[in-house]
Structure 1
Amino acid sequence: MFLKEFYETHDNSIRIAAQQASTFAKEIAHDFNPLHDEDAKRFCVPGDLLFSLVLEKYGLSENMHFIFSGMVGDGVLLHFPDTEAELIDVTDNQGKTYLQIQRSGQVNHDPAMIEALIRDYVAFSGQNFPYVLVPMLEKENVMFNIDRPLVIYESMTLKMQRLDIDNPRLETLEPKMEVNGKRATAYLYFQIKSGDEVVGSGFKKLTVSGLREFEADPMQAFVDDYLARKNGYLENLLTN
């Protein structure tokens, strides 16, 4: 599957190097969150890559819930157990859990369908900043610390009405945000369609920390820098 270039296997475990994770974030998801930069001090593997690896290994179930309980650093050995259980823990060699998966119902393992879903989901996810998150922050009159932005992928829920589908694609639905002091929780809703039929729905839950009063000029400068870095990287890909 197309994910094979983004991880290595070692003694039944998966190892994701910072360079592999950063390339996935930028080139597959178009996600330029500084936490996924190869040289970031607080580097972590994108949750979207972990989600993608779960679908590759376990297939798409009718009901799935993902809880991201730890930030995966460079080269951490992750164990994805061989199991048919409904509750799965992805752990390191010391038993620390980084991801919990709850699943139920029928399962589809079709590689072409799963790749299409992964690609569309991570593309949806990569557009969340700035196009979805910033307008929500402005509406709530809050913003994160632009010197140390901390936006964490907390969980994702997926419910499928049908699994016998081809070429699934995501459509964004109305998001919402709840602010509680210095923290906010963003709920990014979507539906999944096959042709013109809605075949599933879900939402991604993000936590935004270190909130302060919204300031338009600094936030716009941050967004402009983010988009310039993103567009420069992607343009360079096309010319090399």
Structure 2
Amino acid sequence: MFLESYCHNKNNKISFTRQQASDFAKKIADDFNPLHDIDAKRFCVPGDLLFAIILERAGLSQNMTFKFSGMVNDNIFLNFPKSVEEKAHITDDNGKEYLSVEVSGKTTDSAETINALIKAYVEFSGHTFPHILVDLMAKEKVMINPARPMIMYESMSIHLESLAFKAVTLELANTTLSIDGKRGVADLIFNLVADSKVIGHGKKHMILSGLRPYEQETINEIVEIYNTKKADFYAKA
């Protein structure tokens, strides 16, 4: 499938180069989070890439919950399940867990259906910043630290009433941001739509750290840097 370009699979162990992970973030998810830059000091593989690999290998279930517990870098070899019976853990050879998944309901291994959901979800997820989070931060009068912007993907869940689709889109339904000191918890609730009908829903759950009082001028600078970086990438592509 199309994910072969974004990981290495040797002896059933999955690993990623910085270039592969960065290419997935930018080319597939349209995500320019600096954590996914190949020269980032705190580089990490996009959580959406881990999510996509699970679906590609183990199939898509009606109900799925993904919980991220560790940052994956380019020196880690992971053990991914080929199937999931209720719950599975993605670990390295030392037993350290980076991601867990819980499933229930019917399951499909249709490549067309799985690829449609992967591409729709990662495109939606990749546009979290600045499209959604800036409005949320403005509403709550807080913002991330411009010198060290930290937005961490903690969990995601989806519920599908039907698996009989070949194309699907995600539509934002609601957003919340709760603040506790310098820490924020953001939830993005979305609907899954196929053939103009809502066939499911889901939620992306994120942690924002190092929050400080909102400054419009600073936010404008952060967004401008982000958009310039994105434009430069596509200009060179």
Do Structure 1 and Structure 2 share a fold, with TM-score over 0.5? Answer: yes
Deviates more, 1:76-85 or 1:107-116: 76-85
Give me the identity figure in percent.
44
Secondary structure in 1 matching 2:174: coil
Distance 2:164 2:221 in 1: 45
Match of 1:86, as an amino acid? E
Secondary structure in 2 matching 1:173: strand
Task: Give TM-score scaled by structure 1 length.
Answer: 0.97
Can you list the C-alpha shifts for 1:90-130, whole angstroms capped at 9, x where unaligned? 00111100000000111011101111111111111111100
Match of 2:154, as an amino acid? E
Distance 1:84 1:91 in 2: 14
Secondary structure in 1 matching 2:103: strand
Distance 1:61 1:83 in 2: 11
* 2:78 equivalent in structure 1: 78
Distance 1:107 1:9 in 2: 24
Distance 1:205 1:46 in 2: 15
Provide the alpha-carbon RMSD of the alignment.
0.9
- Structure 1 runs (4+) deviating above 3 angstroms are none
Matching of residues 135-150 of structure 1 within 5 Å: 135-150=135-150
The question of whether the paired residues in 1 share the 8 Å contact of 2:58 and 2:81 is answered with: no
Distance 2:236 2:39 in 1: 19
The question of whether the paired residues in 2 share the 8 Å contact of 1:192 and 1:200 is answered with: yes
Task: Give TM-score scaled by structure 2 length.
Answer: 0.98
Distance 2:122 2:28 in 1: 7
The question of whether the paired residues in 1 share the 8 Å contact of 2:171 and 2:190 is answered with: yes
Match of 2:115, as an amino acid? E
2:30 aligned with 1:30, yes or no? yes
2:171 aligned with 1:175, yes or no? no
Distance 1:84 1:222 in 2: 40
Q: Which runs of 5+ in 1 are unaligned?
A: none
Q: Once the 2 structures are TM-superposed, how far is the Cα of residue 236 of structure 1 from its aligned partner?
A: 2.1
* 1:107 equivalent in structure 2: 107
2:160 aligned with 1:160, yes or no? yes
2:197 aligned with 1:187, yes or no? no
**Residues 48 and 10 of structure 1, relative CA distance in 2, 3 Å threshold:** same
2:16 aligned with 1:16, yes or no? yes
